[in-house]
Chains A and B, each alone.
Chain A
Amino acid sequence: KAGVTQTPRYLIKTRGQQVTLSCSPISGHRSVSWYQQTPGQGLQFLFEYFSETQRNKGNFPGRFSGRQFSNSRSEMNVSTLELGDSALYLCASSRDRGRGYGYTFGSGTRLTVV
């Protein structure tokens, strides 16, 4: 079966711009979680969507937002980009909520802010 697909794979943006990243979960998976990975902070939880509703949110500013569509595909948006937003953004899908062992990660979107 197809894995978790994230697009685009790479992105270069300038400070102040906004960006939208996409994540298509494995077919049948209804939960999508987003993580930011940086060398200094490691993997940090952004938010989780389940049945088109944000269920949990990590400790990130309001510039980071997301949504989930009826087909479970999810997008995350970062507005007013800052240099510190440069990171690998990973999404993970699972069939149900709270099933960390059922997480399948995508290959990520590498965002570079210049």
Chain B
Amino acid sequence: EDKVVQSPLSLVVHEGDTVTLNCSYEVTNFRSLLWYKQEKKAPTFLFMLTSSGIEKKSGRLSSILDKKELFSILNITATQTGDSAIYLCAVGEMSGGGADGLTFGKGTHLIIQP
């Protein structure tokens, strides 16, 4: 069973629309939730969230975490064609030996049409 589930898996919208991407997770020892943008090969870091209810913002992108309901959303307002990418959600756990590797969701493939 997948520990990190993203929805939708793909999304096509028009330029200027606002989109909301979802990420739900189920892990034992939650440490952090991260969002990445992958355009061609190398995922690039967007946000790291550790506390509930605190919105992180960067330009037209914002994200928030709900640790009670175990989910996060990534919002993109006034979308542009350059926002077309795969958006990855990842969860980090703590283990007895320190921090584990990240568990990634399968990603949301976002396509922005002009």
Q: Are A98 and B99 in contact (CB under 8 A)?
A: yes
Q: A90-B43, A103-B45 known; A43 and B92 CB under 8 Å?
A: no
Chain B residue with the shortest CB-CB distance to A42: B106
Which of B40, B88, B97, B107 makes the CB contact (< 8 A) with A56?
A: B97
For residue A75, CB closer than 8 A to chain B, the reply is no
Q: A58 and B101: CB pair below 8 A? A: yes
How many whole Å from A94's CB to the nearest CB in chain B? 10
Q: Contact: A106 with B31, CB < 8 Å?
A: no
Contacts A56-B97, A88-B41, A105-B42 given; indicate if A42 touches B31 (C-beta within 8 A): no
* Shortest Cβ distance from B49 into A: residue: A101
Interface size on B, as a range, is 20 to 34
Interface size on A, residues (CB 8 A): 28
Interface of chain A residues 27 through 86 with chain B (CB within 8 A): 33, 35, 41-48, 55-56, 58
Separation in Å of the B7 CB from the closest CB of chain A?
13
**A-contact 0/1 string along B29-52, CB 8 Å cutoff:** 001101010001111110010000
CB of B77 within 8 Å of the partner chain: no
Q: Could you pull out 19 A-B pairs where Cβ atoms are within 8 angstroms?
A: A4-B42, A33-B101, A33-B102, A42-B104, A42-B105, A43-B88, A55-B98, A56-B97, A56-B98, A98-B94, A98-B99, A100-B32, A100-B92, A103-B102, A105-B36, A105-B43, A105-B44, A107-B42, A108-B41
Taking beta carbons and an 8 Å cutoff, which residues of A are in contact with B? 3-4, 33, 35, 41-48, 55-56, 58, 88, 90, 97-101, 103-108
